[in-house]
Amino acid sequence: MITLYTDATPNGRRVSIMLEEVGLSYQVRKISLDKGEHRYPDYLKINPAGQIPTIMDTDVDDSGVLILTQTAAILIYLAEKTGRLICKPSLDRARMWEWLALDATDISSTRFNAFLLSLRIGDSMKEGVELLRERAMVFYRLMDARLTETQYLAGNEISIADISAYPWAASMEHPQMQSFENLQRWMKVMGRRPAVQRGMTIPE
């Protein structure tokens, strides 16, 4: 059985969507960021960085328990465990890693840092927030260009690169987003998937 420790944020939903897509049975433990539960000593034992999401998997081969943090690592682990949403060794697979890495290292951190700055420092850091938002738009422009060539980010099959990118892309509010026609087409396709719709409501 897998337990997902999460809250209603794009990073958390990258994993809840994945769990819904692969169909593994799992339970959800809400870790309220508003209440500071991510810094409670019990939670820090499983995620010393004090971040969500985390998974605990008790169904592992050597009868141990796996506690795993870092969204990209969790997506790769679940894809390998189930053989789902991972491209077969090929050029598409290389592209899948490339887009997953861009999302994990650049897009997610840019988006989260903009959110954190606006939340903690408010108007005094308006310029810093705007700079990060413009940087995010550079990446969404890249994504739009990629999606003029292929249906999904890795190629013509959905993969963990798409699951990773969707929740942050879907929450981006910027006037230019509407002009990215292929990104919009991809978001509609992703947003219609029942597993994505369920994953986006977790935790309730």
Q: Which of 3, 9, 82, 150 binds ligand GSH (CB under 6 A)?
A: 9
> Number of C-alpha atoms within 13 angstroms, CB side, residue 67?
8
Please, which residue, 97 or 112, has the CB nearer to ligand GSH?
A: 112
Please, which residue, 70 or 118, has the CB nearer to ligand GSH?
A: 70
Q: Alpha carbon of 87 to those of 2, 50, 76, 107, 109: distances in Å?
A: 23, 32, 11, 22, 25
Using the contact rule CB under 6 A, the part of the chain among 16-24, 49-57, 144-152, 153-161 near ligand GSH is: 49-57
Using the contact rule CB under 6 A, the part of the chain among 21-29, 50-58, 77-85, 123-131 near ligand GSH is: 50-58
- Per CB under 6 A, 76 contacts ligand GSH: no
Given the structure tokens 């409670």, which residue do they identify? 40
For 139, the token pair is 């990446």
Cβ-Cβ contacts under 8 Å for 147 (sequence gap 6 or more): 153, 182, 183, 185, 186
Q: Which of 8, 37, 50, 118 binds ligand GSH (CB under 6 A)?
A: 50
Q: Which of 4, 17, 22, 52 binds ligand GSH (CB under 6 A)?
A: 52
Using the contact rule CB under 6 A, the part of the chain among 21-29, 44-52, 119-127, 183-191 near ligand GSH is: 44-52
φ, ψ for residue 32, nearest 5 deg: -75, 115
φ, ψ for residue 130, nearest 5 deg: -65, -40
Contact assessment for residue 88 and residue 107, using Cβ atoms and an 8 Å cutoff: no
Give dist(CA 168, CA 174) in Å, integer: 12
Torsion 173-196-164-70 (CA) sign? positive
β-bridge mates for residue 54, sequence order: 5, 69
CB 170 → ligand GSH: shortest distance, Å? 14
CB 145 → ligand GSH: shortest distance, Å? 25
Residues in contact with ligand GSH, total (CB under 6 A)?
Answer: 11
CB 138 → ligand GSH: shortest distance, Å? 20
CB 82 → ligand GSH: shortest distance, Å? 20
- Per CB under 6 A, 164 contacts ligand GSH: no
Q: How many residues does the chain have?
A: 204
- Per CB under 6 A, 11 contacts ligand GSH: yes
- Bridge-based pairing state of the strands 66-69 and 2-6: unpaired
* Site for ligand GSH, rule CB under 6 A: 9, 11, 33, 38, 50-53, 70-71, 112
